Amino acid sequence: MITFGKGFPNSENPIWESLTLFFGFGKQPYFQVGPVNLAMQRVTKEPWGTYRSEEVFLFTLQNAHGMNVKISSYGGIIVECNVPDKSGQFLDVVLGFSSLEDYLKYNGPYYFGCITGRVCNRITNAEFQLEGTTYKLIKNNSENCLHGGIEVV
């Protein structure tokens, strides 16, 4: 979930009034937009493919100046971000792939553009303690567990 609220604490110049994106797979992945300031010009949602029989969407958020970002409902991946260079030409500044199929086929352990996950960063020695119980995880980054480990189907 990504939530943009009324700007920074104590800010009198809110960028967003309310915009919440809920990503991921489950029975009901969804997208919710509240009232948005004029700085946000357009939000669109389009089908981008399927993963395990679940439809994957590509959301495009565009501001009044033409800058836009495309974010998938699969992992909240930032697929594209078009920003102007010093001469006003828009360029995509994201390293990654252009299709869901390519992300599924080639992304492997790289996590290009991914902004969500079960765990962010590494869990040292692939174990952690919670309320006195030690939980052992799968090691997928030397002796550590990286970004939640491997996917178990």
Torsion sign across C-alpha atoms 41, 68, 116, 29? positive
CA gap 66, 114 in Å, rounded: 23
CA gap 152, 118 in Å, rounded: 13
Residue that the structure tokens 């799968």 belong to: 138
Domain limits, the chain: 2-106, 118-153
Q: For the residues 77-101, what does the mean pLDDT come to? A: 91
pLDDT of residue 109: 65
> Which has more pLDDT, 99 or 41?
99
Q: What is the pLDDT of residues 117-148, one digit of tens each?
A: 666 788 999 999 999 999 999 898 899 988 77
pLDDT of residue 135: 92
Count of CB atoms situated within 10 Å of the CB of 121:
10
Q: What is the pLDDT of residues 35-52, one digit of tens each?
A: 444 456 788 999 999 998
CA gap 53, 114 in Å, rounded: 21
Task: Enter the pTM of the model.
Answer: 0.59
First to last CA, the chain: 23
Residue that the structure tokens 């086929």 belong to: 105
Q: For the residues 48-73, what does the mean pLDDT come to? A: 91
CA gap 117, 122 in Å, rounded: 12
Give the angle subtended at the CA of 90 by the CAs of 89 and 96, to the nearest 5°: 140
